[in-house]
Amino acid sequence: MNDPIVPPLVQDDDRLRALNDLRLLDTPPEQSFDDIAQLATLVCATPVGLVSLVSGDRQWFKARVGFPACQTDLNASVCAYSLSESDLRSFRT
């Protein structure tokens, strides 16, 4: 089976290092992140709200409302492709 083709920024060393430095991947739930996911569902009037972190091999959800899985493969990740959008890249340091 072929590996999924993901945008180059997903594998960007600087981005992955910054994500690793946050030490958030695979941590227990935190109320502040849960509140953000809940607020997103209210503001956007959607049944699902997620705080998503895109690592080099998966998308992991720090918080989730209305979505049972705690992670997805990159080939199922909309966020992995969103990283390539120029309006999001402007927020990188």
Q: Are 59 and 51 in contact (CB under 8 A)?
A: no
- In the chain, what are the domain boundaries? 8-89
Q: Where are the alpha helices (DSSP H) in 1-93?
A: 13-22, 31-44, 78-82, 86-89
82 pLDDT band, cuts 50/70/90, is confident
- Ramachandran sector of residue 31 (left: φ over 0; alpha: ψ -120 to 50; beta: rest): alpha
Q: Are 10 and 86 in contact (CB under 8 A)?
A: no
Q: How far from 87 is each of 8, 33, 70, CA to CA, in Å?
A: 16, 23, 27
pLDDT tens, residue by residue, 29-46: 999 999 999 999 999 999
pLDDT tens, residue by residue, 43-72: 999 999 999 999 988 999 999 999 999 999
pTM: 0.79
